Amino acid sequence: MQTLLIAGTSAQVGKTVVLSALMAYWQRYKTSSAGVIKPLDFERLSQRSEPAELDCERFKRLFNLAQPVREITPVLLRSAVLPPIEATTGDPIDFEQLWQTLQQSQQRHELVLLEAFGGLGTPLTFETTMADLAWDWRIPTVLVVPVQPNLVADAVTNVALANQSRLHLKGIILNELPRTARADPDNQADRDLQEDLQDSIELIQSLTRKPVLGYIPRLDPNSLPQLTRAAAGLALEQILPGLELLRSSA
């Protein structure tokens, strides 16, 4: 049984895409079951001001999971307000419940993929961050860093936090953000980033002493073939030992 936490430098950096890529690859080449947990999430509205599809609902639909949505996401916050602030006006997060959900999922699945809430530095209480929770639960972690102008600084500061929190950080995965999330209409920033990407990777690895485990290109997050191909380009033997052998034996 393996468990992996997909963490990020912040919200909306591609954690869901990375988790989906790994899950798509597993389902393509592995016969045993895998579970998904996003312990915390918050309700959103679509552009039509209607309730938007939650990530737990998307995971269940995309991967045809037997897990109920309440197991995938046990805690659903009312808004994007930080958990410790929301807890001052409501019920605090029951971390024991979250831990029990994880343990139950580990007993049922050969692989459990967790998606972190926000970034490693996102506070969960007034005393703990997401990084602290990863250490408390002893979960191996990969850090998703978006490909944007400050990607080196993002990587360095978050790895420093990971080291301070003593969590087991396997390495870094770079993710190309959707074009709609970028503010450069002529894509000159995109071209500059791509030209300098290898230099940035070498700099990140030199400064953090952590490997860059791959790069997720811009893709359709609902396309299983695209997600599977993206995962195949990652250093799977370092992310989930044994996973890279599945394709050759399938």
In a domain, 249, yes or no: no
pLDDT value at residue 181: 47
Distance, in Å, from the CA atom of 211 to the CA atom of 197, rounded to the nearest integer, reads: 14
Residues listed for the chain: 250
Pick the catalytic residue: 15, 30, 38, 60? Answer: 38
- What domain count does the chain have? 1
Q: Is the pLDDT of residue 216 over 70?
A: yes
pLDDT at position 156: 98
Q: Please check whether residue 150 lies inside any domain of the structure.
A: yes
Q: What's the confidence (pLDDT) of residue 141?
A: 98
Residue of 72, 94, 83, 71 lying closest to 19 (CA atoms): 72
CA nearest 65: which of 55, 75, 53? 55
Per mean pLDDT, which range of 111-120, 146-155, 173-182 is the poorest?
Answer: 173-182
**6: closest CA among 233, 175, 244?**
175
170 is catalytic: no
Determine whether the annotation assigns residue 50 to a binding site: no
Beta carbons of 168 and 32 less than 8 angstroms apart = no
The CATH number covering residue 219 comes to: 3.40.50.300
The reply to whether 219 sits in an annotated binding site is yes
User: Is position 25 within any domain?
Assistant: yes
16 among the known binding-site residues? yes
Q: Answer yes or no: is 118 a known binding residue.
A: yes
Residue 49 within a domain: yes
Structure confidence at residue 224 (pLDDT): 97
**Residues 41, 133, 143, 4, CA torsion sign:** negative
Identify the sign of the CA torsion 15, 17, 23, 25. negative
The Cβ-side half-sphere exposure at 143, using a 13 Å CA radius, reads 34
In a domain, 43, yes or no: yes
The answer to whether residue 217 scores a pLDDT higher than 80 is yes
pLDDT on residue 182? 47
| Percentage of the residues of the chain whose pLDDT score is greater than 70 | 85
pLDDT attached to residue 234: 96
161 domain residue, yes or no: yes
Checking 225-232 for CB contacts under 8 A at 24+ apart, the result is 227/17, 227/20, 227/21, 227/23, 227/24, 227/25, 228/21, 228/24, 228/25, 228/28, 230/17, 230/21, 231/21, 231/22, 231/24, 231/25, 232/25
Q: Answer whether residue 225 is part of any domain.
A: yes
Element (H, E) at 108: helix 95-108
Domain membership flag for residue 250 = no
The residue segments making up the domain with residue 222 are 2-243
Segment 232-238 mean pLDDT: 94
86 carries a ligand binding annotation = no
Q: What is the pLDDT of residue 239?
A: 95
What pLDDT is attached to residue 178?
A: 84
Q: What is the pLDDT of residues 164-202, one digit of tens each?
A: 999 999 999 999 988 654 445 556 666 666 778 999 999
117 marked as binding residue: yes
Give the residue-averaged pLDDT of 134-140: 95
- How many angstroms separate the CA atoms of 139 and 55, rounded? 21
Mean pLDDT estimate for the chain: 88
115/39 Cα distance (integer angstroms): 7
Rounded to two decimals, what is the model's pTM?
0.89
Using alpha carbons, select from 205, 212, 219 the residue that is nearest to residue 239.
Answer: 212
Check the annotation: does 195 bind a ligand: no
Whole-angstrom Cα distance, residue 142 to residue 170? 5
Query: What Cα–Cα distance (Å) separates residue 3 from each residue in 42, 91, 96, 111, 184?
Result: 23, 28, 18, 6, 38
